[in-house]
Amino acid sequence: MRRTEERNPRSVGMDEKSPEEILRIINAEDRTIPEAVAEAIPEIAEGVEAISETVRAGGRVLFLGAGTSGRLGVLEAAEIPPTFGVSPDLFRALVSGGPGGVFGSIETSEDDEASGGNVLVDHDFGGKDLLVAISASGGTPFALGTMRKARSLGARIVA
């Protein structure tokens, strides 16, 4: 079982706790995030540089993921143009299952590795572009299929 699918032992019995207790548990979990980010700063910096180089070279950036990971990519792609004053055409996002995967759950779509590759072809993704594959587990078949296809097209990948 993937770590992202395992039960967090600190949240066992959460349904029996008061709202204040639940919020304290969530807050304690949230405090672990800065340390995890600090450890990943070198990799994050590489990703930022790859995005910057891609845009300067005339390529596009595609955020892609399944479920919540894909939805976070949609938020990022939507936020970049108004924040940095760049064309919305430079940043796109795709979620497994298509538009229905943004506001609903299309459970089997994340397990379809072939559709991950096909979606790049459908969106005219090429060697000048950059794929940002988002996967909490690092092993979502949809994201893996997309990375495999992006690699075959000569595109850069941030994962």
Q: In the sheet that 61-65 helps form, which strands lie side by side, from edge to edge?
A: 91-95, 61-65, 130-134, 156-158
Contact 69, 135 (CB under 8 A): yes
Which of 28, 86, 123 lies closest to 77 in space, CA to CA? 86
Burial 64-94 (b: 16+ CB within 10 A, else e): bbbbebbbbbbeebeebeeeeeeeeebbbbb
Tell me whether residue 110 is one of the annotated catalytic residues.
Answer: yes
- Which listed residue (21, 43, 79, 107) is catalytic? 79
Which of 99, 124, 97, 123 lies closest to 111 in space, CA to CA? 97
Count of Cβ atoms closer than 10 Å to residue 151 Cβ: 12
Pull the structure tokens for residue 46: 């590489």
Q: Which active-site residues does the annotation give?
A: 79, 110
